[in-house]
Amino acid sequence: MPSALRSDNLRMMGKLAVIVLAMFGFGYALVPLYRTICDALGINVLTLNERITSAGLGGTRERKASTQIDYSRSVTIEFDANARGPWDFKPAVRSLQVHPGELTTVMYEFRNVQNRTMAAQAIPSYAPMQAAAHFTKLECFCFNEYTLKPGESKQWPVVFYVDPKLPKDVTTITLSYTFFEVGGKVQPAPKTAAAESGKVGT
């Protein structure tokens, strides 16, 4: 092989290696990058109380709901679930009505339908955005990352209350979760599974 051609091949292999490393790094940093961007824009981020709890600094998990329940009004809470990956993720109920200051629990269901172990974490968002400051979670699966085995199912609670100081014109709050896989935490699917699926199609 001529030296010029060999040199070109080496340069091409070097470029491809850099691209592969860049793609791996991007996938691994996707969730932290998402959080940083959303934090800068002020959307889809944990509230201050949730950040304190998820950091293990106490406070939110030990706080109690307000003893002053406003029975004169009701707020509709809508629950939404978005899965960024091949898994099942949904709330046990789609909506319910609560009184401000009333402690409420709702369950979310998650199932790993893949043939490999995976690690993932949920990121919450609120609509309207002004409701985030008045929506307090005492317990939430979004505080932690979780690892699930192939076919494993989990049910997680969200314990919350709406602050009675919520503006009167806000009558509906949408709590939405997006579940992301955390890159680099577990091994990819076995190659044998992909090979077997390829044989079936032949």
Give residue-wise pLDDT tens across range 20-63. 666 655 554 555 555 555 555 444 444 444 444 444 433 333 34
122 burial via Cβ count (<10 Å: 0-12, 13-18, 19+): buried
Between residues 174 and 194, the one the model is more confident about: 174
Dist. CA 133–CA 170, nearest whole Å: 12
pLDDT tens per residue, range 52-95: 444 443 333 334 444 589 999 999 999 999 877 777 889 999 99
pLDDT number for residue 189: 47
Contact (Cβ atoms closer than 8 angstroms) between residue 137 and residue 161 = no
CATH no., domain 44-184: 2.60.370.10
Contact (Cβ atoms closer than 8 angstroms) between residue 116 and residue 186 = yes
What integer best gives the mean pLDDT of the chain? 74
For 139, residues 6+ apart whose C-beta sits below 8 A from its C-beta are 61, 157, 158, 159
Taken in order 52, 54, 56, 61, is the CA torsion positive or negative? positive
Contact (Cβ atoms closer than 8 angstroms) between residue 132 and residue 166 = no
